[in-house]
Chains A and B, each alone.
Chain A
Amino acid sequence: MVRILCFFLMLIFSGASPVDAAQEILRKASLIPQWSPQAQFAGYYVAYEKGMYRRYHMDLTILPGGPHSPSSEFLEKRKADFSTLWLSTAIQKRSQGLKLVNIAQILQRSALMLVAKKSRGIYKPEDMDGKKVGLWRAEFQIQPKAFFKKYRLHVKVIPQSYSVNLFLREGIDVASAMWYNEYHTILNSGLNPKDLTTIFFYEHGLNFPEDGIYTLEETFKKDPSLSCAFVKASIEGWQYAFSHPEEALDIVLKYMLRAGVPANRVHQRWMLNRMKELILPSDQQISVGKLQPSDYGRVAQELKESNFIKMIPDYQSFFVECDNRAEK
């Protein structure tokens, strides 16, 4: 009698939870975003929370990113299967011999920008000549310097810290900013958009698309469907985040609190909205996740000219398009 009961119970459990059965074939994978949790990575957190990776038979772990955990290093040391990186960073790494591949170019537009106060007499690029300009280090300088060259501007470069206080106190005339981050910080320090002159590099022929999804070439070759499943699930996550922004913000804020970083919903909402425009530019017909050869060529060429790289890696080997490779 007891045996029969147990048998039935087993039947019920096995029949009632097919997930348990599927779990057996879930493929383990990990992701490291290039910075600490914020809406810049909303798509991945949402895809995770809403079970999209699971639906693509993935058991994903999102590793905590941040300044102390450079994502390219995690990739290189195989601590993570996937990572997000700037295109310019990735090209440099590839040319330095790290065999990583772009499996999806998430951001189609460069969010890096220059901001100046109109009260300091700056209305157009030419007005920046001779002014103090705050620049971040490394690849954050490539676009601005190309921009200064293009407009033949001689500026005094001041190393810019993580804050925009130097700019707000008018210690510098022009500041570097990410559209989705520092620009909003400036606005929320009491400056109105009409008080500011903004330079978006993509409007000046210097579109350097930023965040993309990368993996090592060998990881990709070992199981292309895994990489592509990750891409598909991530894009679905982004789409869900854009159609359910408040829910997405809840998820992002949860991760921010967990990571112990200051969480400001208004700021994250701004960031999410900007991400939507950077991922799905309303004035462009682009298939989500595709790295445009023209964008690639422009960034690589500029890197070479600025002596960041010696040789331009081959586009074909750098970018892998995932169409039809993912399996649910």
Chain B
Amino acid sequence: MIEKNVEDNARNLVQTTVNRIETVLLSVQKIPESLACFLENSSYSREELLHILRVVVENNKEIYGSAIAFEPYGFDRKSQYFAPYYYKCDGLTEFTDLGKGSYRYLDWDWYQIPKELNRPDWSEPFFDVEGGNILMATYSVPFYRKGGGKREFMGIVTADVSLRWLEEVASSIKVLQTGYGFLISKNGTIVTHPLKNLIMNETLFGVAEAREDSGFREIGRKMIRGETGFVPFRSLVSEKQCWMYYTPIPANGWSLAVLFPQDEFMADINRLCRIVILLGIIGLFLLSIAIVLISRSITNPLRAMAKATEKIAIGNLDIELPPIKSQDEVGKLTSSFHYMKSSLKQYIQELTETTAAKERIESELKIAHDIQMSFLPKRFPPFPDRREFEIYATLEPAKEVGGDLYDFFLISDDHLFCSIGDVSGKGVPAALFMAVTKTLMKRIGEHMIDPSEVLARVNQELCLENDSTMFVTVFCGVLNLKTGEFRFSNAGHNPPLILRTGKNPEWLQVPEGLLMGVVEDTIYKTERVFLNPGDGILLYTDGVTEAMSKEKIAYSERKLMSTIKESKSGTPEELIREVMQSIKEFAEGEPPSDDITLLAFQFNGKKG
């Protein structure tokens, strides 16, 4: 775009200058042309001719000298050469005949070229040494004698023109600081140039040869061919890179070139560029500050939030969250965090309360369990001074408080009461029900020897206030320590095992009886069996037979039977420990889902 502008400027400048030169040249051309026209169309005497020529030279300030050169014998049959020439010298108009003396005008370019070309021609520029070293050029016009349809060459009319004005025009061209114009002739001879030593002494091609620059030579060739162009060019004066616009002067085929220094043209643009770059840098700097500030305004609440969440993460819900300042995403996030914090806080508060309540209940349950366990006789051997029997019992509580119970006591010196039971359900109600049952059993059992009656009485008592419809299975029996008679009754409980010395254990045939706490008037039966010394009875609850292995297989009666069968244990304690061990191995670490209760006694007879 800039180049285009420069080119337009250049074209205007050069074209204007060329037009100025052209105007002068054309006006100068008119003079010898009209003189030639006069010579072709008029008859004239020698005196008339000289007069006209003198007037032409005197009256035209542009014309330094003018000659009319005739072909040999062309003017006068007597003289071979005739070429009158008037020229200005020191303000006077002088005359000479170029035909006289050794000056052979026929061989000179100003004569020969228009003659051979049959057309007017501007000569190459030359320095007129005699006339004060003025740069001159000659315009030569051939004239002819017409007649008989033929044109016979008669001679040449010339006008010598001082080119001082041309030098002034060309050297007045100044472009910025170092731009300049120069003029070359048709041969490429440098006619005007800021470098004076080039003028008339060098052609563009000589300069190109000296600089070994073939591109330069090519430009010169285009210039002398009369082309117009706009090309990059290195200044001969400043060696700066320039644009050069050149165009021919149509009248004489010379070429005018004007150089436009690129850097000077670009100076403004470069300054503008520098300002733009500076502005850009400042703008970028300000922008980055703004970006930092904005991003800080976004990340600061986020960072504060991150810090707050860290504290929240380690459990500090009382931390003060950053205030909600804006309605954007960060603001929304902050408010969500506020909500989350309060929700968490509330939730944790509730959780704390719940846990506290649960812990309280659990501790109460624990107490209940402890109370339950404290009901049961746990001191073994319970009767160290009695050798007629040995008794042992254990209750392995389930995780929750269960409802198993066992008890034994001596009704009298000769009678041992023992019972085992299992309350339906679990938890505190079961424990309480068990406690009630056990208390009732003890209270009633101490006064009665018939087990069925004990069960019937206990049942009546249980049914009385049993709104919760809980029930309990109980097996109880009374062993006569003198006779070995064992009277027993059953209220829906698992049949115990009878272990006779030297025999396989077998299930005790228990009378049928409804479990207690359901029907008030239930009647229970008492059965009896005689134990020989060494014989024993094993009571258990369904926690034994229903103990589960990992594969959810029940321990079962059969396994219990086989365990006891294979047992080599002598005392009830050893037997119970062995069974418990067997159950533990079977369960493979599974916690018992129900209380596991075992009670065994061995009748030793009187001899012990």
A contacts, CB < 8 Å to B = 132, 158-161, 163, 165-166, 168-172, 187-190, 192, 262-267, 270
Contact = CB atoms under 8 A, between A and B. Distances in A.
Interface string B529-551: 00000000000000000000000
B209 A166 contact: no
B523 to A, nearest CB: 149
B205 A190 contact: yes
Contact of B116 (A166, A187, A262, A267): A166
Interface hub of A158, A169, A190 (most chain B Cβ within 10 A)? A190
25 contacts: A132-B116, A158-B112, A161-B108, A161-B109, A163-B124, A165-B113, A166-B113, A168-B186, A168-B187, A169-B113, A169-B186, A170-B117, A171-B112, A171-B117, A187-B205, A189-B205, A190-B203, A190-B204, A190-B217, A190-B225, A264-B202, A265-B210, A266-B202, A266-B207, A266-B210
B121 A169 contact: yes
Nearest to B222: A190
Interface hub of A163, A169, A265 (most chain B Cβ within 10 A)? A169
A165 B107 CA distance: 12
Contacts of B206: 188, 264, 266-267
B106 interface: yes
Decide if the interface of chain A is mainly helix, strand, loop or mixed.
loop
A163 B115 CA distance: 16
B587 interface: no
Contacts of B113: 165-166, 169, 171
Contacts, number: 72
A11 to B, nearest CB: 51
B200 A166 contact: no
A65 B203 CA distance: 26
A192 B218 CA distance: 10
Contact of A163 (B109, B207, B217): B109
A159 B109 contact: no
Decide if the interface of chain B is mainly helix, strand, loop or mixed.
helix
Given A163-B109, A265-B210, 4 more contacts: A190-B188, A190-B203, A266-B202, A266-B210
Given A165-B124, A266-B209, A189 B116 contact: no
Given A166-B109, A264-B201, A171 B209 contact: no
B221 interface: yes
A265 to B, nearest CB: 7
A169 B117 contact: yes
Interface hub of A165, A168, A264, A270 (most chain B Cβ within 10 A)? A165
Interface hub of A170, A188, A192 (most chain B Cβ within 10 A)? A188
B607 to A, nearest CB: 155
B572 interface: no
B224 interface: yes
B106 A159 contact: yes
B517 interface: no
Nearest to B184: A190
Given A159-B106, A161-B108, A190 B187 contact: yes
Contact of A263 (B121, B201, B207, B221): B201
A170 to B, nearest CB: 7
A18 B203 CA distance: 49
